[in-house]
């Protein structure tokens, strides 16, 4: 017997994007019931309190300055400029909102946000020993710092505003009624009991797909991607869900700035010559060079940290009170750095796949192609097309929290407005029963394969650079064939308890994301921005196009849409 609950606005996911969507939906219409359903614990789950704790703002720059720089140097004009400009225009107020809800944005003695531009150079010291930075850099944005315990304060604010919370309940599928969203089906992760939620509007804010390889991002399992796909939603830019970070096999934590000091085993710096003059984040070209050098027999590749020009900057903003005042973050990063990097026995570096696959299509109001269904956060970063030809989260620091806050602040009010005018949904028992059969089947399976065995096999397909970043048709076809083989093995997965049952659902989602990724990658026949193909090294002669993905009779169907440059203010 399932437990049933009705609400007006249902937010799936209790990390920063979901909390922001819930708060702003409640502020938009205080009379609405707003409920957050979270698989683990709202305010503690997700990635928002596990990163650098920095947030992008415009500072004194204009949205137009930001957009023009971004289009030319990062997004390569494969952007939805309407969304990009809207995002830029809301960056400063986004930081103000986080400060209002949490009180955790670092300020200087005068009460202003203490900001620091990326890659600024240390040019001296103040009387108190704190560094002085030359912030005359070309990037038309800056960064503020947030202490990493801010999420629990945002949850407290949401609860005081009247938002309801249902924790330890994982969403597995969306319910629809006449082509419109009607709610979700979830399960208690401890008891396995079914929970059905009817809703006039739903905001998916449950993260993207990261393939569980790099530890900081391993919480992103892609269940929301799969649920939206099965419900018929549209996706875009799935081929850009292939972000890699530099790491060492002794600890799997991220190193920043490796490309400046990347040496092959012959002692040649193979990274710096490939870095473009304006370099906001990790260079895909240098990551691809690691692959080329390794295949040529010039490995292992070495990271000479003392030559990294970003190190004085990095050590001043992470795990240190040299510039920002963030006691909780300093302790977090201090423990992490000590426990991770103290284990390192050599200077070898490898690219570790982060993934960040989040292609759910949304318009500038964060509405998906299913009426009543909205999205916020990592799940729809690529699908928003705001970033263009780059891997999520936009390949400049601080944009993860920046986009999550922006998209939540947009999705929440629009979902509230939709819910206020929508009829109460009709929940179809046939849908609910079909979902239950799919999800609980592993509990009755006679198979012998465990979910983590499947995870390891998927990782063998996704992690290799030659499959997921520096791509070639032959390698991708082999990878896709292996994905199909693994899909055929799904009925053999056995679940002993609700946790393993969720593990099987995550495996299904991971394989679907992998299939979408490779099929979209095969369709883009040209290299552009973060998307690199060994067999098509130049941009496509067909012009700028978005690769789309949608379900057709339950199968992954790929298409193309021309980027409507004539409707946008800026052109190549």
Q: What is the 3-state secondary structure (H, E, C) of 383-411?
A: CCCCCCCCCCCCCCCCHHHHHHHHHHHHH
Per-residue model confidence as pLDDT tens digits over 521-558: 999 999 999 999 999 999 999 999 999 999 999 999 99
Place of tokens 């080329």: 292
Cβ neighbours around 242 below 10 Å, total:
27
Token pair 């399960």: residue: 187
E strand spans, 90-136: 115-116, 121-125, 131-134
Q: What is the mean pLDDT of the chain?
A: 95
What whole-number distance in Å separates Cα of residue 450 and Cα of residue 254?
Answer: 29
Could you give the CA distance from residue 68 to residue 73 in angstroms, rounded to a whole number? 9
Q: Is the predicted pLDDT of residue 136 greater than 70, yes or no?
A: yes
pLDDT above 80 (res 315) = no
pLDDT digits 0-9 by tens, 430-453: 999 999 999 999 999 999 999 999
- pLDDT, position 216: 80
pLDDT of residue 1: 62
Which among 526, 530, 467, 524 is positioned nearest to 283, based on CA atoms? 530
- Per-domain residue ranges of the chain: 3-110+138-241+354-420, 250-351, 430-542
Domain 430-542 grouped into CATH 1.20.58.100: yes
Three-class DSSP labels, 505-554? HHHHHHHHHHHHHHHHHHHCCCCECCEEECCCCCCCCCCCEEEEEEEECC
176 Cβ partners below 8 Å, 6+ apart?
A: 182, 231, 232, 370, 431
Give me the CATH code for the 3-110+138-241+354-420 domain, please: 3.50.50.60
Residues in Cβ contact with 131 at an 8 Å cutoff, skipping those fewer than 6 apart: 122, 124, 125, 312, 316, 322, 323
Helix, coil or strand: residue 367: strand
The percentage of the chain sitting over the pLDDT mark of 90, rounded to a whole number, equals 87
Instruction: Note whether 521 and 530 are within 8 A (CB).
Output: no
Please report which confidence band the pLDDT of residue 105 belongs to, taking 50, 70 and 90 as the band edges: very high
> Residue 151: pLDDT band by 50, 70, 90 thresholds?
very high
Confidence of residue 167 (pLDDT cuts 50, 70, 90): very high
At 218, the pLDDT band (50, 70, 90 cuts) reads confident
Per-residue confidence (pLDDT) for residue 2, from 0 to 100: 85
Identify the weakest region by mean pLDDT among 336-340, 406-410, 487-491, 510-514. Answer: 336-340
């Amino acid at each position: 017997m399932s437990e049933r609950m009705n609400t007006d606005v249902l937010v799936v996911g209790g990390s920063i994007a979901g909390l922001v969507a819930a708060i702003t939906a409640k502020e938009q219409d205080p009379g609405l019931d707003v409920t957050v359903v979270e698989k683990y614990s709202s305010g503690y789950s997700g990635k928002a309190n596990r990163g650098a704790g920095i947030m992008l703002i415009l500072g004194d720059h204009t949205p137009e300055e930001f957009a023009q720089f971004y289009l030319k140097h990062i997004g390569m004009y494969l952007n939805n400029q309407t969304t990009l400009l809207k995002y830029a225009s809301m960056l400063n107020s986004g930081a103000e909102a986080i400060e209002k809800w949490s009180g955790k944005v670092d300020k200087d003695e005068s009460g202003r946000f203490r900001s620091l531009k990326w890659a600024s150079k240390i040019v001296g010291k103040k009387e108190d020993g704190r560094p002085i930075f030359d912030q005359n850099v070309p990037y038309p944005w800056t960064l503020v710092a947030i202490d990493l315990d801010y999420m629990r304060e945002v949850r407290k604010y949401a609860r005081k505003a009247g938002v309801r919370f249902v924790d330890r309940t994982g969403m597995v599928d969306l319910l629809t009624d006449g082509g419109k969203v009607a709610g979700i089906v979830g399960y208690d992760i401890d008891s396995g009991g079914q929970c059905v939620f009817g809703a006039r509007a739903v905001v998916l804010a449950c993260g993207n797909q990261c393939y569980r390889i790099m530890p900081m991002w391993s919480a992103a399992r892609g269940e929301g991607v799969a649920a939206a796909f099965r419900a018929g939603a549209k996706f875009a830019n799935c081929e850009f869900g292939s972000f890699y970070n530099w790491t060492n096999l002794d600890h799997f934590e991220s190193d920043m700035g490796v490309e400046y000091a990347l040496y092959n085993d012959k002692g040649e710096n193979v990274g710096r010559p490939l870095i473009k003059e304006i370099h906001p984040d990790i260079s895909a070209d240098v990551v691809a060079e690691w692959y080329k050098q390794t295949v040529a027999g010039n490995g292992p590749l070495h990271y000479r940290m003392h030559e990294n020009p970003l190190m004085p900057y990095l050590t001043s903003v992470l795990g240190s009170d040299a510039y920002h005042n963030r006691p909780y973050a300093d302790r977090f990063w201090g423990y992490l750095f000590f426990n991770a990097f103290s284990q390192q026995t050599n200077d070898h570096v490898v690219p570790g796949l982060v993934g960040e696959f989040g292609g759910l299509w949304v318009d500038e109001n964060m509405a998906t192609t299913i009426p009543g269904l909205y999205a916020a956060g990592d799940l729809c970063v690529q699908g928003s097309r705001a970033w263009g030809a780059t891997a999520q989260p936009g390949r400049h620091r601080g944009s993860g929290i920046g986009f999550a806050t922006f998209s939540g602040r947009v999705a929440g009010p629009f979902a509230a407005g939709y819910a206020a005018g929508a009829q109460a949904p009709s929940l179809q028992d046939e849908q609910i029963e079909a979902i239950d059969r799919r999800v609980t089947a592993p509990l009755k399976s006679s198979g012998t394969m465990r979910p983590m065995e499947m995870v390891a096999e998927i990782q063998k397909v996704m992690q290799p650079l030659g499959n997921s970043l520096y791509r070639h048709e032959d390698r991708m076809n082999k990878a896709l064939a292996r994905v199909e083989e693994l899909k055929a093995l799904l009925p053999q997965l056995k679940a002993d308890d609700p946790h393993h049952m969720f593990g099987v659902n995550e495996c299904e989602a991971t394989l679907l994301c992998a299939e979408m990724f490779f099929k979209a990658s095969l369709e883009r026949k040209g290299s552009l921005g973060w998307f690199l193909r060994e067999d098509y090294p130049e941009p496509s002669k067909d012009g700028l196009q978005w690769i789309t993905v949608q379900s057709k009779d339950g199968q992954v169907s790929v298409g193309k849409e021309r980027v409507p440059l004539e409707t946008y203010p800026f052109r190549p």
